[in-house]
Amino acid sequence: MAYNFDRVPNRRIPGALNKWTFYPKDVLPLWVADMDFPAPKPILDELRKAVNQGVLGYELASTPLLETVATRMDRLYGWKVKPEWIVPVTGIVSGFNVAARAFGSPKKGYLVQPPVYNEFHEVKNNVGIPQVDAPFVKQVKANILHYEIDWDLFKKQAKKVSMFLICSPHNPLGIVFSRRDLSRMAEICIENNVLIVADEIHSELLLDEKKFTPMAKLSREIANNTITLMAPSKTFNVPGLHCGFAIIPNKELHDEYVKVVGHLRLHVASLGLHAAQAAFSGQCDEWLKELQYYLTGNRNFLVDYVTKNMPDVRITIPQATYLAWLDFTQLNLEKSPFEFFFEKAKVALSDGAIFGEKGHVRLNFGTSRSILKQALDRMQKSLHSR
Ligand SMILES: Cc1ncc(COP(=O)(O)O)c(C=O)c1O
Can you list the positions of beta strands (E) in 185-266?
195-199, 226-230, 244-247
**355 vs 112: CA distance, rounded Å:** 11
Residues forming beta bridges with residue 228, ordered by sequence position: 198, 247
Q: What is the pLDDT of residue 386?
A: 87
Give me the pLDDT at residue 93, please. 98
With 0-12 / 13-18 / 19 or more C-beta atoms within 10 angstroms meaning exposed / middle / buried, residue 73 is buried
Q: How far apart are the first and last CA of the chain?
A: 41
pLDDT mean values, one per 10 residues, the chain (386 residues): 93 95 97 98 98 97 98 98 98 98 95 98 97 98 97 98 98 98 98 98 96 98 98 98 98 98 95 98 98 98 98 97 98 96 98 98 98 98 94
Tell me, what's the pLDDT at 1? 75
Residue 129's contacts (CB-CB under 8 Å, 6 or more residues apart) are 100, 104, 105, 106, 108, 109, 110, 123, 163
Residue nearest to atom 14 of ligand 1 (CA): 33
Closest-lying ligand 1 atom to the alpha carbon of residue 95: 11
> Who lines ligand 1 at CB under 6 A?
33, 91-93, 117, 167, 171, 199, 201, 231, 233, 239, 244
CB neighbourhood size of 342 (10 A): 19
> Is 335 exposed, middle or buried (CB count within 10 Å of its CB: 0-12, 13-18, 19+)?
exposed
Reduced DSSP (H G I as helix, E B as strand, rest coil) percent helix, strand, coil of the chain, to 5: 40, 15, 40
How many angstroms is it from 136 CA to the middle of ligand 1?
A: 20
- Cβ 176 vs Cβ 210: under 8 Å: yes
Distance 385 CA to ligand 1 centre (A): 36
Residue whose CB lies within 8 A of the most ligand 1 atoms, among 18, 93, 323, for a mutation test? 93
